[in-house]
A and B are shown apart, each in its own frame.
Chain A
Amino acid sequence: MPSLDDLKKRITSVKSTQKITKAMKMVATAKLRKAQENAEKGRPYSERMNNIILNLSGGVSDKENSSKLLVGTGKDDTHLCVVLTADRGLCGGFNTNIIKKAKSHFEDLKKQGKNLKIITVGMKGYDQLKRNYSNQIIEKITFKESKNINYFDADKVGKIVLEKFEKEEFDVCHIFYNQFKNVMIQIPQKQQIIPLQKEENADTPEKDNLNYEFEPDEDEILNNLLPKNISTQIFKAMLENSASEQGSRMTAMDNATRNAGELVDKLSIEYNRSRQAAITKELIEIISGAESL
């Protein structure tokens, strides 16, 4: 049985934890709104880019000579995985979910005997992967300094990926991130960016393929566009990720606040009971002392 003093101390400490989690929740809520807005604003760009590329790639006549970014290198021996995570913890299952998804992909690749290379974006992903995959991680990137996600950062990652692709360091590239569905639900995603994978609804571009004029010709536009698309896709992933991170943190902190509240209630009851017990005990002692006189 803990003493009254101990209980009192515990109650205060739980209360102050609750204050912290409450504050974190508020901050996350405020940030979430902004991140969500950004994610929504960023969508038209990547969607349009995708549309144009679909329109173009439908019209490419000479598959053999078109960009390797579109058709691949013809091999699939070395896989590059870009794992996008947050820089901070305390956001529920957010980071763990991405890592889990990525790890199961890594294991699949291992079973198939493929080479694996990893680029981690964000501190937490690196921390969790370095134990098992430290040899495969070829690059770790973090944008801790930049407050908001900007295209410039995404472009940096994109350039690194492209540079490695040009040096033929890998054949296939996947990115891992969390897609923001709503505050409660974030879905870990695996997306193939090299070679470009057409979306499932690939039958639409046929209709859509109006008689475009191209200037210069299609191939050249496509070659110019595809590298940009890599950065765009990474940027989109980063935007989705940041919205997911805040959403996830908000829910996690909300839960933590509620749990702390419950704990405080329980501890207070215990505290009051033992205080009452001590008083009763003292009373009994006095009464029985008086009776014996």
Chain B
Amino acid sequence: MSEEFKIEIVNPERSFFSSENVTEVVVPAFEGEMGILKDHISIISFLKPGIIKIFSKNVEEKFYVDDGIVEFKDNNLSVLTSSIFNLKDFDKSVIDKNLSDAEKSLENPDLDDQKKFLIEQKIESLRSISTS
């Protein structure tokens, strides 16, 4: 019995990434990081800014996402997101720009708690990327 399942990441413009044989995916779900293995129960959840880690037999891929939705059904994982970057070609200057944008938007006084939380998450994960 193989321990592999399918994943597809789609953004509005195209199908960003797809693979037939991943063994584990870690997604930054809204209520905390969530690891998904084969035969996980069907689930829908949305994402906070963070890093998606995709493990397959011998490779590991990492993507940064801003927001999105994950749906897992019948060993098909789909991730819908509007902003995604592969960490490999995530430029330092882009990170810094995103970071300063996020910090600026945090100063906006009429943010509700949820938005504030999301932005803080974004800053945190961007920082961790840029220092690593």
Say yes or no: A52-B69 contact (C-beta < 8 A), given A151-B11, A221-B46, A224-B46. Answer: yes
Q: How long is the Cα–Cα vector from A73 to B60 in the complex, in angstroms?
A: 47
Find chain A residues with CB under 8 A from B41 CB. Answer: 211, 213
| CB pair B43 A212 closer than 8 Å | yes
| CB pair A210 B13 closer than 8 Å | no
Say yes or no: A212-B44 contact (C-beta < 8 A), given A45-B12, A151-B13. Answer: yes
Say yes or no: A41-B45 contact (C-beta < 8 A), given A48-B78, A48-B80, A49-B80. Answer: no
CB-contacts of B37-54 with A (<8 A): 41-46
| CB pair B14 A41 closer than 8 Å | yes
How many A residues have CB within 8 A of the partner chain? 29
B113, CB-defined interface residue at 8 Å: no
| CB pair A213 B71 closer than 8 Å | no
| CB pair A215 B69 closer than 8 Å | no
Q: How long is the Cα–Cα vector from A49 to B42 in the complex, in angstroms?
A: 16
CB-contacts of A187-240 with B (<8 A): 210-216, 221, 224-225, 228, 231-232, 235
| CB pair A232 B12 closer than 8 Å | yes
| CB pair B80 A45 closer than 8 Å | yes
Find chain A residues with CB under 8 A from B14 CB. Answer: 38, 41-42
Say yes or no: A44-B10 contact (C-beta < 8 A), given A215-B30, A216-B30. Answer: yes
Find chain B residues with CB under 8 A from A216 CB. Answer: 30-31, 45
A56, CB-defined interface residue at 8 Å: yes
A154, CB-defined interface residue at 8 Å: yes
Find chain B residues with CB under 8 A from A221 CB. Answer: 44-46, 69
CB-contacts of A47-78 with B (<8 A): 48-49, 52, 55-56
B29, CB-defined interface residue at 8 Å: yes
**In whole Å, how far is B74's beta carbon from the nearest beta carbon of chain A?**
8
Q: How long is the Cα–Cα vector from A232 to B43 in the complex, in angstroms?
A: 22
CB-contacts of A1-52 with B (<8 A): 38, 41-42, 44-46, 48-49, 52
Find chain B residues with CB under 8 A from A215 CB. Answer: 29-31, 34, 43-45
B15, CB-defined interface residue at 8 Å: yes
CB-contacts of B1-46 with A (<8 A): 8, 10-15, 29-31, 34, 41-46
**In whole Å, how far is A114's beta carbon from the nearest beta carbon of chain B?**
32
Q: Which of B11, B29, B42, B45 contacts A210 (CB 8 A)?
A: B42
- 5 contacts across the A-B interface (CB closer than 8 A): A41-B13, A52-B69, A214-B44, A215-B34, A215-B44
Residues of chain B at the chain A interface (Cβ within 8 Å) = 8, 10-15, 29-31, 34, 41-46, 67, 69, 71, 73, 78, 80, 82
Given A42-B13, A45-B11; 15 other pairs, CB 8 A cutoff:
A41-B13, A44-B10, A45-B10, A45-B12, A46-B12, A48-B71, A52-B71, A150-B13, A151-B13, A154-B12, A210-B42, A212-B44, A213-B41, A221-B44, A221-B46
